[in-house]
Amino acid sequence: MQPTDDATPQQPPAAPRPNTTRETHTYPRLQVPLFGTEYLDYAKRQLFARHPDYLPTLVRLMDVHPGMTAVDVHCGAGFYTRLIASRLQGEGHVVGIDPDPVLLTHAQQQTIIEGWEEVLALRQGYATALPLPDGIADLVFANSVLWVLPQDQRVQAVREMRRVTRVGGRVLVAEPDGGLVHIYDEQRPELQELETRVHEAFVRGTLALDGDDYQIGRKLPTIFQAAGFERVRVFPRLFVVAGCDLGDDPKQGLLDRITEYQQALAALLNTAPEAQARRAHRAERLRAGGLSDADIARHQELTIARLKDLTEQPQRILQDTSVYMYGGLFCMGYRT
Ligand SMILES: C[S@@+](CC[C@H](N)C(=O)[O-])C[C@H]1O[C@@H](n2cnc3c(N)ncnc32)[C@H](O)[C@@H]1O
């Protein structure tokens, strides 16, 4: 339906990940757009544009001070690593760690472009065996990481984050929770009902076929305790978007919405083999989650009709009262 967080299953649709080897600590490059730099950049642009309060909330929870040592676990293209670097004011260090050399190369290029080399280092490594000594970090951060790790690696990953944290330091993990997705569309009751079932089926199917757990948010305290944390706090990570809410600059907001809907429509109508493969990959997860082929086809039909309606008559966007809520959790573990 509407927007995406950097971890929600909604949009853009999941791409096939044929080369992913989950059993090993290294794996070939994942296929975009689900995890590539293009997707990570897109997801963050959309997240921050739609939710201007999100970044200040995150920065407050991170509480980065000059002189700190921080670690960004599975940093991807390094957006949050650079955010931490920017808060160090030239004093201290942040290390970004990721197993994917392609993402690390992108992260390195951006580090140089933005001028953070003196405080930011990047290393190849995997969350369950961080290439760092014990007790060096004041803050260990991980955004949208645990939900894609194999289930039997999640506690070990947080145990590693705890190991590299000094006594008095903190581990902050931000993850999605698929149970926090709510869709309301009074103008399109059939689509609303189907959309809800599609979401639930996708969450179930992805867990069954890929082991990716969109409902990991609620499990974080369990994982943190199993990893050895005695003091744990959780904070909400909630987002809400109304179709007709065009932000502080409604003219620009409307143009952005039209572009977004046009792109979503083009993706659904695209007959190129990779677009078809993406849809087939998604449909496979929906079927595994219990949705029938008839429901999948009807959902697609209604979604296309909605997007055509909104792009062909943009004034309909102003009247679109649909509301999409989604979210997750921040979990903080204190190293005592
Ligand atoms: C959703 S991305 C988040 C990246 C970064 N923390 C951010 O917020 O931009 C997940 C990261 O986990 C890494 N990763 C490690 N093992 C993975 C796996 N089995 N499946 C998917 N991603 C994996 C990827 O390289 C990627 O950088």
Q: What pLDDT, on the 0 to 100 scale, is given for residue 108? A: 97
DSSP of 207-273: HHHH---TTGGGGHHHHHHHTT-SEEEEEEEEEEEETT---SSHHHHHHHHHHHHHHHHHHHH--SH
Q: Would the CB of 143 count as within 6 Å of ligand 1?
A: yes
Nearest CA to ligand 1 atom 4: 76
Residue 285 in tokens: 């997860």
CATH number of the domain where residue 307 is located: 3.40.50.150
CB 186 within 8 A of CB 198: no
Q: What pLDDT, on the 0 to 100 scale, is given for residue 26? A: 26
**DSSP code of residue 40:** H
> Is residue 91 domain-resident?
yes
Q: What pLDDT, on the 0 to 100 scale, is given for residue 36? A: 62
Q: Would the CB of 100 count as within 6 Å of ligand 1?
A: yes
- Ligand 1: distance of its center to the CA of 98 in Å? 7
DSSP of 80-121: HHHHHHHHTTTSSEEEEEES-HHHHHHHHHHHHHHT-TTTEE
- Residue that is written with structure tokens 């039209």 in the block: 258
Nearest CA to ligand 1 atom 10: 145
> Is residue 27 domain-resident?
no
Q: Which residues of the chain register pLDDT less than 50?
A: 1-5, 7-34
Instruction: Give the whole-angstrom CA distance, residue 75 versus residue 263.
Output: 28
Q: How far is CA 255 from CA 62, 310, 315, in A?
A: 33, 12, 11
> Is residue 14 domain-resident?
no
Nearest to 160 by CA among 126, 184, 192: 126
Q: Would the CB of 12 count as within 6 Å of ligand 1?
A: no
> Is residue 20 domain-resident?
no
Q: What pLDDT, on the 0 to 100 scale, is given for residue 59? A: 94
Q: What pLDDT, on the 0 to 100 scale, is given for residue 6? A: 53
- Ligand 1: distance of its center to the CA of 311 in Å? 33
> Is residue 4 domain-resident?
no
CB 88 within 8 A of CB 66: yes
CB 16 within 8 A of CB 285: no
**DSSP code of residue 290:** T
- Residue that is written with structure tokens 């995406």 in the block: 4
Q: Would the CB of 144 count as within 6 Å of ligand 1?
A: yes
Domain count, the chain: 1
> Is residue 169 domain-resident?
yes
- What is the best residue among 22, 27, 148, 213 to mutate for testing ligand 1's pocket, by most ligand atoms within 8 Å of CB? 148
The per-residue pLDDT for range 208-227, each reduced to its tens digit, is 999 999 999 999 999 999 99
Nearest to 221 by CA among 161, 158, 167: 158
> Is residue 5 domain-resident?
no
Q: Would the CB of 320 count as within 6 Å of ligand 1?
A: no
* Crossing angle of helices 101-114 and 79-87, rounded to 10°: 30
- Domain extent at residue 61: 37-334
Q: Residue 291 carries which side chain, given as an amino acid letter?
A: L
- Whether the bond into 33 is cis, omega within 30 of 0: yes
The pTM of the full predicted model, rounded to 2 decimals, is 0.88
Which residues lie closer than 8 Å to 79 by C-beta, 6 or more apart?
A: 40, 41, 44
Q: Residue 131 carries which side chain, given as an amino acid letter?
A: P
Q: Would the CB of 76 count as within 6 Å of ligand 1?
A: yes
> Is residue 3 domain-resident?
no
Q: Would the CB of 40 count as within 6 Å of ligand 1?
A: yes
